Structure 1
Amino acid sequence: MEWALPEPFVIEIDVTDEAIDAYRHVNNSEYLRWVEQISWAHSEALGLSLARYRELDRAMVVHRHELDYLAPAYAGDALKLATWIVACDGRFSLTRRFQLKRISDSKTLLNARTRFACVALSSGRPMRLPDEYRRLYGDAVVDE
C-alpha cells in the first residue's frame, strides 16, 4: 500500500456494525477513537507504555486535532491506519500525522494531524519532555 510518508506505523481495523451511525457509515467519532488507538499502539511499540508514562509522571495530551474526512467507511470494510511522528520540539510538544485507507481500493478516507503537549500527570501542568521521550519520540520523527 502506498502511503503519504515513508515507513509508517500501521494497524488494521475491521469496521463493525457498532461503528455505524444513522447515516449508515462510520460515525466520525470512531475515526478519532482510532487515531487515539494507533497513537497509543505506536508509543508502546517505541517503548513508552502507559505504565512508563506514570513512572515518569508525564503524559502527552492532545492540544489540537485536525481531521479531514475525505470519504466514508462502511460496515465490513477492512482498513489500514498509518501514523508518523512528524515533529518533536524536544521541549514540550510533538505532532503526529495519520492516514486511513480502505484496503480493497486503497482509497484514502481520512488525513489527520494531532499536536500533543507534555504535562505532569500529578498536576496537569505543562512540563518539559523527559529525556526518554525526547530520545524515543525524536528518533521516530519522519520528514514531511
Structure 2
Amino acid sequence: MADDIQWDLPNPFIHHISVQKDETDRLGHTNNQVYLKWLEDISWAHITSLGMDWAMHDRLSKAMAITRTEIDYLAATYNGDELIVGTWINESDGRITSKRKFQIVRADNHKTVIRAQSFYACIDLKSGRPARMPKEFIEVHNQAMAQHQG
C-alpha cells in the first residue's frame, strides 16, 4: 500500500508502474530512457490533474520546459517489478523557474530505487525563449506545493 511508504516529502502524487520486458536493457535492468519517460509521464499527469492541461498551455502559448534532470539510481529494477512513482512540485519562484522531485519505490518492499529532480523554466511556445509564468501557472504551482506540505 502506498500509505505505508516512507516518502521523502508528504502527500506525493503517485502512479503505479509495472516494468515490461521491452523496457529493459541488455543487462536486464530497466533502461535509463524508460525512467526519464516515467518521470515525464507522471509530471504531465500531475499538472493535468491540477488543471494545467495542454489546452491551457496552448491558449497561453507558454510551457514549463525541463532544463536539467538529476537521477540517483539506488537499485536496479527488472521485468515484472511493480513500482510506485511519487512526485512533488517543491519549489517555484513564481516568475520563471520551478523544481519537481521524484521518488520511485518497489511496491513489494517499499525500497526506494530512484530519487530524481527536474528543473524547469517557463518558455514562450512561439519563440522558445524564457518567459514569465502566466498567473494560471503560478496558481497551479502554488496549489501543488500547498498539497504537498506536511
Q: Same fold (TM over 0.5)?
A: yes
Aligned equivalent of 1:99, options 103, 110, 127: 103
Moved over 2 A (4+): none
Matched, 1:73 2:74: no
Specify every segment of 5 or more residues in structure 2 that has no aligned partner in the other structure, as ranges. none
How high is the TM-score relative to the length of structure 1?
A: 0.97
SS in 1 for 2:130: coil
Matched, 1:14 2:18: yes
Q: Indicate if the aligned counterparts of 2:102 and 2:115 stay in contact, CA closer than 8 A.
A: yes
Cα drift, residue 2 of structure 1: 2.2
Which residue number corresponds to residue 47 of structure 2?
43
Cα drift, residue 143 of structure 1: 5.5
CA distance in 2, matches of 1:70, 1:2: 15
CA distance in 2, matches of 1:143, 1:101: 20
Among the aligned pairs, what percent are the same residue? 42
Tell me the alpha carbon deviations over residues 44-91 of structure 1, each in whole angstroms, 9 at most, x when there is no partner: 011011121111100100111000000001000110000001101000
Which residue number corresponds to residue 93 of structure 2?
89
Tell me: CA distance 1:137–1:41, structure 2 relative to 1, closer, same or farther (3 Å): same
Specify every segment of 5 or more residues in structure 1 that has no aligned partner in the other structure, as ranges. none
Q: Indicate if the aligned counterparts of 2:11 and 2:149 stay in contact, CA closer than 8 A.
A: no
Which residue number corresponds to residue 126 of structure 2?
122
CA distance in 2, matches of 1:98, 1:29: 15
Aligned equivalent of 1:3, options 1, 4, 7: 7
The aligned amino acid for 2:68 is R
